[in-house]
Amino acid sequence: MKSGSRNTFLFLCFALTLTFMVIIGGHTVYAHGDEILNHRLHVVAKLDQAPGNIAVTKDKRIIFSQHQFYDPEYRVVELKEDGTVVPFPNKEWASAPDENGIGMQAVLGIRADMNGIVWMLDNGSDPKKIVAWDTTKNALHRVITLDSEVAPPGSFPNDLAIDLNNGVIYIADVGGTGLPALIIVDLNSGKARRILEGTPPVMPEDDAEMVVDGKAVRLKGEDGEIKVARIGINPITIDPQSDFVYFGAMHGHTLYRVQPRYLLDQLLDEKALLERIKVFAKKPVSDGISIDNAGNIYVTDVSENAIGLIRPRGTYEIFYEQPEGTNMLSWPDAITAGPDFFMYASVNQLHRSPPLNLGEDDSRMPYYIVKFHALAPATVGR
């Protein structure tokens, strides 16, 4: 290749690179096309009602559950461009179930997939269920019921990860008054299995205490007894290639990962499956995680009022700190990938809500939805 042709080729390769690193004033920032990706939190919305989890569709519609700890009127809402919120997908489905079963009782887990389907996990109905809404057709896609064997009394199905490559949904059941477990839902048959119940990877860790703003989070039981909060498997995600499912306990310092083929192999007994679940990294006490296409994992660092980052090599660091004098990261709850190089996070001051604050509501408006640039492109639904 001639020198001029080689130089042209190298220039084109450089121009086609989606993300590259730039040094400005001694600070590392990232370039995405012509846009400089500086490390700043962007406020998407200031809210009067605390958000739960969040979904961003392929056409950038922002849909989120409203946290049940704050007793919202509507279980799921959509953020409009003018900053207002409206019931999603409509008032009937966003409200408590009617005599025909239309509606949802309590929703936290919510994800959008690349096909425009929004999956909403109703952990309050009896039986518990998944409601899937097609945003491209503005129509109900399907309802999947989780029977009492899969989601028994005392269970608390919370976060979920959508794996369209294998046609399944993975649900983290934090345990509630029962034992934590992982639930796997087959999207072809609608059947579900409950696995790993009470095993070490899904259980809270003894040394993982949640302290927020210098105060330990405590619960008041129905008998009036004050207890330390101990919550099992909660944050969960899957990489876009479906190579690994990542998960860990909220009250835990360990992030595990496992290949989906082992979770889906019903011939494996529990002992054999546990042997295939590996420790991937250390993590903070956290409520939600997401992942980009390069394998960077974004973590809600609840105790530090921060967003953390686990690099592909498994090292942890603080990625975004709460701006001084704000509540912008006061209990970051969930993170999800948008189609625009941003990660979106919901922030809800959950440690100040009545269930986690001895019955008192010490939260104060506004609550937030924020976004920040990921280090690499990401796939909707992660």
* 3-state secondary structure (DSSP) of residue 305: coil
Do 169 and 186 contact (CB within 8 A), yes or no? no
| 33 vs 305: which has the higher pLDDT | 305
Residues facing 37 on adjacent strands: 30
What is the reported pLDDT for 30? 36
Which are the contacts of 267, defined by CB distance < 8 A and separation ≥ 6? none
Residue 4: per-residue pLDDT? 52
| 252 within 8 A of 206, measured Cβ to Cβ | no
Is 223's pLDDT higher than 90? Answer: no
Fold of 43-373: Neuraminidase (2.120.10)
Predicted local confidence at residue 39, as pLDDT: 62
Q: What is the spatial distance between Cα 115 and Cα 141, in angstroms, rounded to a whole number? A: 11
pLDDT tops 80 at residue 364: yes
Pairing of strands 85-87, 107-112: unpaired
CA-based nearest residue to 364, from 347, 352, 380, 355: 352
Encode pLDDT of 179-190 as tens digits: 999 999 999 999
Does the bond joining 87 to the residue before it have cis omega, within 30 degrees of 0?
Answer: no
- Give the pLDDT confidence of 226-259 residue by residue, as tens digits: 888 889 999 999 999 999 999 999 999 999 999 9
pLDDT at 225: 80
pLDDT for 175 equals 86
Whether pLDDT at 11 is above 60: no
- What tokens were used for 57? 């569709």
Three-class SS state of 331: coil
Q: Say which amino acid occupies 115.
A: N
Give 3-state DSSP helix, strand, coil % of the chain, rounded to 5.
10, 40, 45
Mean pLDDT of the chain: 89
DSSP 26: T
Q: Tell me the range of 136-145, 168-177, 210-219 where mean pLDDT is highest.
A: 136-145
- List the chain domain ranges: 1-38, 43-373
Q: What is the pLDDT of residues 22-56, one digit of tens each?
A: 332 333 333 333 333 456 889 999 999 999 999 99
> pLDDT tens across 306-331, in order?
999 999 999 999 999 998 889 999 99
Cα dihedral across residues 119, 297, 338, 262: positive or negative: negative
15 conformational bin, left if phi > 0, alpha if psi -120 to 50, beta if neither: alpha
On the question of pLDDT at 217 being above 80, the answer is yes
φ, ψ for residue 377, nearest 5 deg: -55, 155
Report the pLDDT averaged over residues 267-275: 97
Q: Write the CB contacts of 89 (distance below 8 Å, at least 6 apart in sequence).
A: 76, 118, 133, 135, 138, 140
pLDDT at 8 over 70: no
Whether the predicted pLDDT of 149 surpasses 90: yes
Identify the band that residue 266 occupies on the pLDDT scale cut at 50, 70 and 90: very high
For 185-216, write each residue's pLDDT tens digit: 999 999 999 999 999 999 999 888 889 998 88
Count H helices, E strands: the chain?
A: 4, 31
Rounded distance between C-alpha atoms, residue 375 and residue 220, angstroms: 41
Q: What φ, ψ does residue 81 adopt, rounded to 5°?
A: -65, -25
Closest CA to 202 of 226, 231, 227: 231
- Tokens at 174, concatenated: 């934090």
What size, in residues, is the chain? 382
Q: Which of 138-142, 207-211, 217-221 comes out lowest in average pLDDT? A: 217-221
pLDDT, position 20:
36
Q: Which pLDDT value is given to residue 164?
A: 96
Question: What is the arithmetic mean of pLDDT over 112-126?
Answer: 95
Percent of the chain with pLDDT strictly greater than 90 = 79
Cα distance from N-terminal residue to C-terminal residue, the chain = 42
Provide the pLDDT for residue 177: 81
